[in-house]
Amino acid sequence: MRSEPTIKELIISIRSFLENLNLEISPNANKHIDTLKNINQIDDLKINEIIEFINNDLILNLTGHDRFYAFVARNSLQIIQREINLINDYEEKEIIRLEKLLNEKGNIKDLNKILCKRIRDKELDRDDNELKDHLIRTTMAKLSIDQPNYSGYLKAIKDEYSQD
């Protein structure tokens, strides 16, 4: 679902941030740097440990830009966590909707390119209810991962917009 940056790129960036810290301030950073080096073995529990470390050790002891980047690292890890937990189901449902809407088979990237082309070429009416439903569901799925506390997303849930 995510186009840029990828989970791998986010993890590398977070690892780089931790590696560049003054280790006297955060002696436990090495454990978490090692965890982040094994990208394919990162799971919910390990992410929670790193988030806890950032909250309890870094944010409380850092100042200025380093403190800001600690918040960014924590928030990025929370996005990664939600994406790992939700992405497969959301992408499966998106592909099913796209295949039905476009009457084509394919992967999510190619189907979305076809969708964009058909909307641009006015082969699909943007007032089509099936198209609107697909776009709303896709947007809601993306917001649930990237911005679950966004006021517009929360209002859409309250207003019972379609979601997967």
Quote the pLDDT of residue 140: 94
Distance CA 26, CA 23 (A): 5
Mean pLDDT, to the nearest integer, of 131-154? 93
Distance CA 37, CA 68 (A): 23
Domain layout of the chain by residue ranges = 7-158
- Candidates 79, 128, 142; CA nearest to 152 is 142
CB 101, CB 130: distance < 8 Å: yes
Distance CA 65, CA 51 (A): 18
Quote the pLDDT of residue 25: 65
| Model confidence at 141: pLDDT above 60 | yes
Mean residue pLDDT of the chain comes to: 91
| Model confidence at 26: pLDDT above 80 | no
